[in-house]
Structure 1
Amino acid sequence: MGRRRRGEELAQAILRAAAEELRESGYAGMTMDRVAARAGTNKNAIYRRWPHRAALGVAAYRHLSDAAMPNPDTGTLRGDALEMLRLANETWSSPHGAVLRGLLAAAADDPELLTLMRERSGADTMDRAWIGMLERAAARGEAPAAAVRHRVATVPMMLLRAEYAMRGVPSVPDEVLVEIVDDVFLPLVRGHG
């Protein structure tokens, strides 16, 4: 009999197992039974931490998101912003993006899941990365300090999501990413001077 894992160690093992299930089977195929078997624990141990499948699904997606969060530092705001958008565009059309699309599709029929995703999606991690990028640009003297604001930082990703919604496909041409940065984001940042 293996030693008993407790607390944080067991929680991490469950999250890793759930993240692997999400990657392999999507949210639709992720069951508490399969996660428990993969984590080498029982369903009660999972339900004590995550009261339902939706809560575990969102937590597992965050686990994937945090591990995959890029933090480019190219030395210029334009370079960083383009790199972030390009990575986001690649991610959205990757298996990781497929997991998110599966969660979003399930959320359409599950109000509780939708609420959890709004509250706990990887968005805050993404926002911190963009704010960090603006802070570095301000420290280099490349952007005014007044531009280091949440609303300014979130504009490029909002525009990228709008492109996906309008096109109905999880990928946009690179020239659109360049336009988002050059025609909207950089003028917006500089306008705060």
Structure 2
Amino acid sequence: MGGRTRRRGDALLAVVHQAVLDELDEVGLGRLTMEGIARRAETAKTSLYRRWPSPEELLLDAIAAAFPVEVPSPAADDLRGDLIRALELMIEWSRHPTSRAVRAVLAERHRHPELVDALYSRVFEPAGRRFTATVLHHYAEVGQLDPGLITPVVEDIGEALVIKHAIDTGQEPTPQRLAEIVDQAILPAVHGSPTRR
């Protein structure tokens, strides 16, 4: 039997998303083209243009499709655990190809400022801006935290300390370090109290 299996819908979308990420890894943002993506995905370039006007738009779509959003405890009864899980989610995502894509886009901020703006407005903002921010705002909405204490600086604490640890050590933070970040930095900032063991 010859010929390729005709892919549609979600199956084709997954292949195209993977193709744009692989193409970005190989050629870089400045040389990303619909031709290269279509060739890698084994689909027609015209099919891509029917859905995305540019390779950058396709790349944003691929990043958005894989970008995670924290799901806090519905009862809002485990702030510490929810914050730790949010940082774990950040680390899990950091291993995904879309994390490399985000770093590639941010590294080209001076050449593609409009793409960076779109990354924030269409990917990060709908997902809650920062890891842990969704959790913090959820607890504020149900009256467990003072919303006035959840400032942009407080929203940044968890991400910033995870990234600093990775830069300083070349390794992902351990579960113990994540707990320390929550207990010693985030919870005191929102006037929470860590669970003592």
Contact 1:76 1:137 in 2 (8 A): no
1:58-116 residue CA offsets vs partner (Å, 9 max, x unmatched): 33212221xx4332327321111001111212221x3x1x4422552476468445752
Between 178-187 and 146-155, the greater mean CA deviation after superposition? 146-155
* Shift in CA distance, 168/45, structure 1 to aligned 2, threshold 3 Å: same
Q: Distance in 1 between matches of 2:23 and 2:167?
A: 21
Where does 1:54-73 land on structure 2 (aligned, <5 Å)? 54-65=56-67, 68-73=68-73
Q: What's the Cα RMSD here?
A: 3.7
Deviation at 1:167, TM superposition (A): 2.4
Percentage of matched positions with identical amino acids: 21
Partner residue, 1:50: 53
Contact 1:108 1:114 in 2 (8 A): no
Extract unaligned runs of 5+ from structure 1: 1-8
Report the residue type matching 1:27 in the other structure: L
Partner residue, 2:5: none
Where does 1:31-180 land on structure 2 (aligned, <5 Å)? 32-33=34-35, 35-36=37-38, 38=41, 40-43=43-46, 45-46=48-49, 49-51=52-54, 53-65=55-67, 68-73=68-73, 75-92=77-94, 94=95, 96=96, 98-101=97-100, 103-105=102-104, 108=107, 111-113=110-112, 116-117=115-116, 119-121=118-120, 122-124=123-125, 125-127=127-129, 130-169=132-171, 171-180=172-181
Deviation at 1:180, TM superposition (A): 1.0
* Shift in CA distance, 126/158, structure 1 to aligned 2, threshold 3 Å: farther
* Shift in CA distance, 43/111, structure 1 to aligned 2, threshold 3 Å: farther
Between 100-109 and 147-156, the greater mean CA deviation after superposition? 100-109
Deviation at 1:129, TM superposition (A): 6.5
Bigger relative contact order (CA 8 A; separation at least 6): 1
Q: Distance in 1 between matches of 2:85 and 2:154?
A: 17
Extract unaligned runs of 5+ from structure 2: 1-7, 27-31, 193-197
Q: Distance in 1 between matches of 2:72 and 2:116?
A: 25
Q: Distance in 1 between matches of 2:146 and 2:106?
A: 39
Give the count of matched residue pairs. 174
Report the residue type matching 1:78 in the other structure: R
* Shift in CA distance, 46/174, structure 1 to aligned 2, threshold 3 Å: same
Q: Distance in 2 between matches of 1:103 and 1:132?
A: 20
Q: Distance in 2 between matches of 1:22 and 1:70?
A: 25
Q: Does 1:27 align with 2:30?
A: no
Partner residue, 1:3: none
Report the residue type matching 2:85 in the other structure: E
Q: Distance in 2 between matches of 1:113 and 1:18?
A: 22
Deviation at 1:36, TM superposition (A): 3.3
Deviation at 1:179, TM superposition (A): 1.3
* Shift in CA distance, 150/91, structure 1 to aligned 2, threshold 3 Å: same
Contact 2:34 2:48 in 1 (8 A): no
Q: Give the structure-2-normalised TM-score.
A: 0.66
Relative to total residues, which structure has the larger helix share, 1 or 2?
1
Q: Distance in 2 between matches of 1:61 and 1:148?
A: 27
Q: Give the structure-1-normalised TM-score.
A: 0.67
